[in-house]
Structure 1
Amino acid sequence: MNVAELVAIDVHTHAEVSRDGHGSLSPELFGASKEYFKGHARPTIPEMAAYYRERGMAAVVFTVDAEHATGHPRIANEEVAESCAEHADTLIPFASVDPWKGRAGVREARRLVEEYGVRGFKFHPALQDFSPNDPMAYPLYEVIEELGAIALFHTGQTGIGAGVPGGGGIRLKHADPMLVDDVAVDFPELRIILAHPSFPWQDEALAVATHKPYVYIDLSGWSPKYFPPQLVRYANTLLKEKVLFGSDYPVITPDRWLADFDELEIKPEVRPMILKDNAAHLLGLKP
């Protein structure tokens, strides 16, 4: 990967369909997400690689393992990692391990980093039905910290389950970033990304990222024109080295996100930091 030639690094994209057509969500939950985001395609990982390569960008790719809470089989982490390795000029593999899998999940996480080159792990506490500060998940964080990988947590409201009776069983309380603050205390060397503007907990996310040196914020899931003003203010100042470009592709395309970001009042010297430099530093990508 030629980092110097990249226009941007998108730290938040989803592998929503496997090579055999299996979806990452159940039909009910995918239908709700599709309705919430006004429809979107489900590209394969090779199609994602072609999309980002054409735009001179790199992308972090992951799926979500929520088998315990949803009963829906995940897309295999090995498939995601192998597909990213086939397109290593533009794709960076993350994985997802359901914390409910206990010791088996810990062993899997270690193997994925050591044998498949996975760089981080995606957690979606609301969808996976666990609190980030539940000690049940701590052995998994421990191995992620030990291996120098990144833990990326969904925070704030989610489009998954929106409009389904009972929200499809998804409890939004698990997505409060203050719960991740406990993780940052108990695992002080763990690199953490708080994904999304954390509605309705935006101020909490800013507080955690300001207070904890290894907690970052990605800007995925929202068009920049809807960012809360305090998020823009902190991105321009106190958190200018800790805010990361993320789109949430394919539900939001980087084309749309970047077009709206161009209209945002971001300082010229901060713009490249958000779009590429901060992520390159966090991911350990060398020029």
Structure 2
Amino acid sequence: MTPLDVDDLVAIDMHTHAQVSLEGRNSLPDEIEEASAAYFKVERKRYPNAADMAGYYRERKMACVIFPVDAEAATGAPAVPNEEVAEVAAANPDVLIPFASIDPAKGRFGAREARRLVERFGVRGFKFHPSVQGFFPNDRSAYPMYEAIEELGVPALFHTGQTGIGAGAPGGAGIRLKYSNPLLIDDVAADFPGLPIIMAHPSFPWQDEALAVANHKPLVYIDLSGWSPKYFPPQLVQYANTLLKDKMLFGSDFPMITPDRWLADFEKLDIKPEVRPKILKGNAARLLGLVKD
């Protein structure tokens, strides 16, 4: 299989989920999964595995960052294995960019795992979901893992804002939104100044906080996944067009939101013509080291 060719791509989707293993096992408990599917209005039976996603994105001439979410300590459900995602990505290097996920509850073992996954499996970044994993991003117990990721020179991607995971289930399935305030990421960015950080999603109800952190910290980016662009708040669009035009990243949240839907709505958004290619591909390619600065 040919390697990824940035020039040949329409876009780079920075946020997609390995939700189902190759053997068909879902990675979230039924209660949470059913509520989330209802929230996003998707059919669970249609969730693709990593190999399916390679074909899906190849058809669209896009690449995508793909990751599982390891929240086993909080949910009791094992994630799709990081090794499986990385191996499928290695077999499809023209379209899949593997990120891993390690539950911060694993402490120093997690730091060793991060090094192993990058050095042996070619993982290109790490995904954290504070609300689902049940931790504050600035909790010192997670710092050994951040230190390892910073040393490895790959990005850390954090869910921010409200989550659709568990939305509508009794008590939100026990998932707490407080963990995903983007101001908590500011501490991580200050304490690890060499760590590239991606704050995922428009950060409702803390959009202004997210914009402030990304504007203040040089290596903090925002991916625009999880919402249709037609619902973006005005200040997010304003900053995308101006001060943060080099820090905004296209992301869909597939399979919850398809890239087709996201891109169709993005076409109607009031984004400057010279900024569009940055958001769709250029900023991601630079962040991931796919092109030279």
* TM-score (norm: length of structure 1): 0.99
Tell me which of 9, 14, 26 is aligned to 1:11.
Answer: 14
Tell me which of 37, 42, 54 is aligned to 2:40.
Answer: 37
Which runs of 5 or more residues in structure 1 are unaligned? none
Matched, 1:167 2:167: no
Partner of 1:193, secondary structure, is strand
Partner of 2:94, secondary structure, is coil
Tell me which of 12, 15, 27 is aligned to 2:30.
Answer: 27
Task: Work out the CA distance in 2 between the residues paired with 1:232 and 1:11.
Answer: 18
Task: Work out the CA distance in 2 between the residues paired with 1:5 and 1:250.
Answer: 23
Task: Work out the CA distance in 2 between the residues paired with 1:24 and 1:230.
Answer: 35
Q: Partner amino acid for 1:13?
A: T
Tell me which of 226, 250, 258 is aligned to 1:221.
Answer: 226
CA RMSD, 1 decimal: 0.8
Q: Partner amino acid for 1:8?
A: A
Partner of 1:104, secondary structure, is helix
Matched, 1:150 2:155: yes
Any runs of at least 4 consecutive aligned residues in structure 1 with deviations exceeding 2 A, and if so which? none
Tell me which of 263, 266, 269 is aligned to 2:271.
Answer: 266
User: Residue deviations 1:171-202, cap 9 Å, x none?
Assistant: 10000000000000000010000000000000
In the alignment, what sits opposite 1:132? 137
Map 1:202-213 → 2, pairs under 5 A: 202-213=207-218
Q: Partner amino acid for 1:261?
A: F
User: Residue deviations 1:6-53, cap 9 Å, x none?
Assistant: 000000000110011111211111101101001242111111111111
Task: Work out the CA distance in 2 between the residues paired with 1:171 and 1:44.
Answer: 28
Task: Work out the CA distance in 2 between the residues paired with 1:24 and 1:144.
Answer: 24
- Number of matched pairs: 287
Matched, 1:179 2:184: yes
Q: Partner amino acid for 2:12?
A: I
Matched, 1:141 2:164: no
Task: Quote the offset at 1:75 in angstroms.
Answer: 1.1
- 8 A contact 2:72–2:78 mirrored in 1: yes
Map 1:89-104 → 2, pairs under 5 A: 89-104=94-109
In the alignment, what sits opposite 2:204? 199
Partner of 1:92, secondary structure, is strand
* TM-score (norm: length of structure 2): 0.97
Task: Work out the CA distance in 2 between the residues paired with 1:198 and 1:54.
Answer: 31
